Structure 1
Amino acid sequence: MLPDPAELIACPTCDALYRARQPAAGERAVCERCHTVLIAPRARAGMSIIMLSLATLILVAGAINFPFLRISRAGFGNDASILDTALAFTEGPLQLLSLAVLALIVLIPATRALLTLYVLTPVVMDRSPWRGAAQAFRLSEALRPWSMAEIFSIGCAVALVKVADLANLTFGPAFWMFCVLTVVVVVQDQWMDRWSVWASLDREAAT
């Protein structure tokens, strides 16, 4: 007898199929082939993820408005924010590049945070999911590979090392906010138990 597809879970790394079962408290389900964590429920994880999503939105708002970096040399200086830098290129292919960078490092993380709040808030409050919650969570997962805040941080670190010999650099509040934002996004993804979220949405859809 073929298993019900709804009972199966596929490893995102090696595509191995398993029958999904809720682990006991303090346990987690791990792929036998590649040891990728498949199911890892945590106590009060939903509320923690909601708090991290709110923190992401606050940090994004600060990171795009406060000065990111100040460059000074020979008595001349200039402050630059992420938003100012993106809007500085208004013509040609650089405009598309700057908008793409802004979307990948700011807009997509903020969008994923909003979608996460939309999906998890009613679940954590033991209420029925809001309309379109499954589609919202699916969109959030589809955007995950395109959220590149940590890639931007690595690129900034490399660029600043090269520029430091040419001018005096002073990190603004947005720089530190963006560093914290990178950590928050990574921690949120680590805490997210996607199987549990889908299971909650499926149970509500079946009732």
Structure 2
Amino acid sequence: MKMEAADNSITLCQSCDLVIRKRALPTGVRALCPRCHTPLYDTPYCSINGMLALCLTAVFFFAPANLYPVLELEFLGSIRTTTVLEGALAVYQQGYWLVGVAVLVSAVLAPGLLLVSVLAQILIIKFGLHSRKLKKTLKQLLKMQGLLTQLTMLEIYVISFLVAAFNLADFATVSFGFGTFCFTMLFIMTLFLMREYDLEHMWSFLDEHQ
């Protein structure tokens, strides 16, 4: 155990290969290499409990963001509403199946899986690191984290709502629905969650309990 503790307390500069012993840092402070000033490591600003709060809030907004209308169009007395899921299916049915699948994956499936994955990681770190099976599960989730992050593109669809409303304003009365608010809040919560999420820091919890 002493050898493992000693190994975990030492890091190697990726630029100049200087061996450096880690020290405890205040929150939000980053350690730099004394030789070449390359960033080495830092302490995440947000704690595990803080990430848990952000993740649960994002999960709370996930369902209404995808089930409630995001746009309401009134044209010649006719009112039409659409949700993110309906928009993806409509594009798919018009023959643009690749675009429809991309919308479905990047706006619905990937964000949902990302939130479930991060929530599971947090809960395992808080309560399940003494279980070998849960540690194996955490390892697999950490390996998939990069892919889920790259597939999640909520910001594109928030911008698309605004662009659509601007372009259609001359032809119809456009109003945002409750789903727009929930989708925007989902985007904001996910943005802050991933800003505070540090993959290397999450791996360190697993390394400490090997």
What does the per-residue CA deviation read over 1:97-140, in whole Å, with 9 as the maximum and x for residues that have no partner? 11211210221111111111111112123743613211201211
- Of 119-128 and 175-184, more deviation after overlay is shown by 119-128
Read off the aligned partner of 1:101 and give its amino acid letter.
V
Question: Equivalent residue for 1:64?
Answer: 66
Task: Say which of 188, 193, 198 aligns to 1:193.
Answer: 198
Runs of 5+ in structure 1 lacking a partner? none
Taking a change above 3 Å as real, the CA distance of residues 186 and 100 of structure 1, as seen in their structure-2 partners, is same
Question: Equivalent residue for 1:78?
Answer: 80
% identical aligned pairs: 21
In 1, Cα distance between equivalents of 2:13 and 2:164? 42
What does the per-residue CA deviation read over 1:48-68, in whole Å, with 9 as the maximum and x for residues that have no partner? 212222222221211111111
Cα shift at 1:79: 1.1
Structure (1 or 2) with the larger CA radius of gyration: 2
* 2:96 counterpart SS class: helix
| Equivalence map 1:126-205=2 (5 Å) | 127-128=129-130, 130=134, 131-204=136-209
2:88–2:101 Cα contact (<8 Å) kept? yes
1:9–1:20 Cα contact (<8 Å) kept? no
Runs of 5+ in structure 2 lacking a partner? 1-6
In 2, Cα distance between equivalents of 1:90 and 1:37? 46
TM-score (norm 1): 0.80
In 2, Cα distance between equivalents of 1:193 and 1:70? 38
TM-score (norm 2): 0.79
- Of 66-75 and 150-159, more deviation after overlay is shown by 150-159
* 1:132 counterpart SS class: helix
Aligned residues: 197
Cα shift at 1:95: 2.3
* 1:67 counterpart SS class: coil
Read off the aligned partner of 2:114 and give its amino acid letter.
R
Cα shift at 1:180: 0.7
